[in-house]
Each structure stands twice: as structure tokens, then as C-alpha cells.
Amino acid sequence: MGLKKIIKSYRKLGARRFFKKWGDGLTNLTPLQQTRTALWGFPAIFGGLFWGIVVTFLGKIYWLCLILLGSLPITTMQLVSQIQKYRAQKKVEDLMKQAK
């Protein structure tokens, strides 16, 4: 859905109805859609981590740099976990489609 379409819908429905419909749409997301959305967020997370490491290192804020470096392996494991989860959910969804 494009931004123009979202703005047009917001103006047409009004704030209260727009956000109600938006909330209803979020509750109807499938687990596969939720996992896919989470995966889309990881490039921004890694970009922020790397940028933060560079800035804190150049700014000689070494304690913060160490904290960011420490969070890097944890975030990497979260990414690997989400990829595995996505693949498993995709496989289940494909099997369900074949069964129909």
C-alpha cells in the first residue's frame, strides 16, 4: 500500500476509524507475515549497530563501543533464529497448500 493511498484512506475514514482498521489488520497477520516483517528490520538494526560502533570508537567513548560490540553476536543469533523460523513456517505453509 502506497503512502498516498494510506493518507487518502486516513482522510476519508478519520483518525479513529483508520487506526481501528489498522489495528484489526495487525491482529490478522499470519505468523509467517510477522516473521517476514521481523526479518526486514534486521538490516536497519545491523546498520545502526555498526554505525554506533564507528561513531563511539571515533568519539573515544570506548565503554559504549564495547557494549555495542557485545550486542553484535546476540543480534546475529536473533537473525539466524528468525531465518530458521521463517524457513520452517514457509515449509509448513507450502505443505498445507499441497495438501489442499
Is the pLDDT at 1 greater than 60, yes or no? no
pTM for the full model?
0.75
Per-residue pLDDT tens for 34-83?
Answer: 999 999 999 999 999 999 999 999 999 999 999 999 999 999 999 999 99
Question: Where are the chain's structural domains?
Answer: 30-99
2-7's contacts with Cβ under 8 Å and 24+ in sequence apart are none
Strand locations in 1-100 (E)? none
